[in-house]
Amino acid sequence: MEIRGPMQLPARREDIELETLDGLTLVGELALPETREPVATLVTLHPLPTAGGFMDSHILRKASGRLPALADLAVLRFNTRGTTSPRGTSEGAFDGGRAEAFDVAAAMDFVHARGLPRPWLLGWSFGTELALKYGRDHLIEGAVLLSPPLHRATAEEVAAWAGDDRRLIVLVPEFDDYLRPDAAAQRFAGVPDAVLIPVEGGKHLWVGENQTRRVLTEIVAAVNPDALPLPLEWNGSLDPEA
């Protein structure tokens, strides 16, 4: 059957809780390959919760639903403070990207406590701000940024990635609502090693199967290129919760 939409391929899925240094409990999920050990880990950072972003925002849910099976990746999703999804509500209140530094740290502490390999941050919109602001504080291989608005990450925080060994992959939609490719090239000019990928026809929310496939392909190209090309069809069973 064709792989598309909200289809969940088989994985070991576990509801998790993250504990922050300021005493909050955040809810989330860890998805692992069903029968193998992961070769790398995606720590996902969701879009703006005050605009409807949460751990189930569709690209992150599809990454969790497909990439453990298709690319041998572990995918950690969680709600930042004060955010609600069907998994539940994380304690605390939205803080505009400030106290969310503790949320990123809690996710990374969980990754290292579990011994999950080769962590990457995967941020989308508001999540890219958290990755840019706080990713350098943690042991990661790099960060993939989807639709970065650069509203909260300062020019100094972006420039701090210059010369950093961690890879920075930036996907910028042609028709983004906030930051389009030409402007993004200027904003990231101080980080010459950043890989800026303009996506023709792309929009901020990456709606549609073609855009989903493009985004997931670019993620895997960065994190586990040996898994490419991603298959378009699945011949096995599906996750019973799908």
What is 35-102 written as a DSSP string? SS--SEEEEEE-S-GGGT--TT-HHHHHHHHHHHHHH-EEEEEEPPTT-EETTEE-SS---TTSTHHH
C-alpha separations of 92 from 28, 63, 224 in Å? 15, 26, 35
The answer to whether the beta carbons of residues 12 and 91 sit under 8 Å apart is no
The answer to whether residues 18 and 43 touch, using CB atoms and an 8 Å cutoff, is: no
pTM, to two decimals: 0.97
List of the chain residues with pLDDT < 70 = 240-242
Average pLDDT of the chain to the nearest whole number: 97
> How is the chain split into domains, by residue range?
13-224
Between CA 73 and CA 71 the distance in angstroms is 5
Name the strands in the sheet holding 142-146, side by side, starting at the edge strand that comes first in the sequence: 12-19, 25-32, 73-78, 40-45, 119-124, 142-146, 167-173, 195-199
- pLDDT of amino acid 240: 67
For β-strands 12-19 and 25-32, DSSP reports them as antiparallel
Q: Please tell me the predicted confidence (pLDDT) of residue 236.
A: 86
Domain spanning 13-224: CATH superfamily: Alpha/Beta hydrolase fold, catalytic domain (3.40.50.1820)
Tokens of 34: 């069903």
Are 107 and 43 in contact, with CB atoms under 8 Å apart? yes
Write down the pLDDT at residue 171: 98
pLDDT score for 237: 82
* pLDDT in the model for residue 233: 97
Residue 113's contacts (CB-CB under 8 Å, 6 or more residues apart) are: none
Peptide bond into 86 cis (omega under 30): no
Q: What is the pLDDT of residues 173-202, one digit of tens each?
A: 999 999 999 999 999 999 999 999 999 999
Is there a contact between 170 and 188 (Cβ–Cβ < 8 Å)? yes
User: From residue 6, how far is each of 30, 58, 69, 192, 233 by CA, in Å?
Assistant: 17, 8, 14, 36, 14
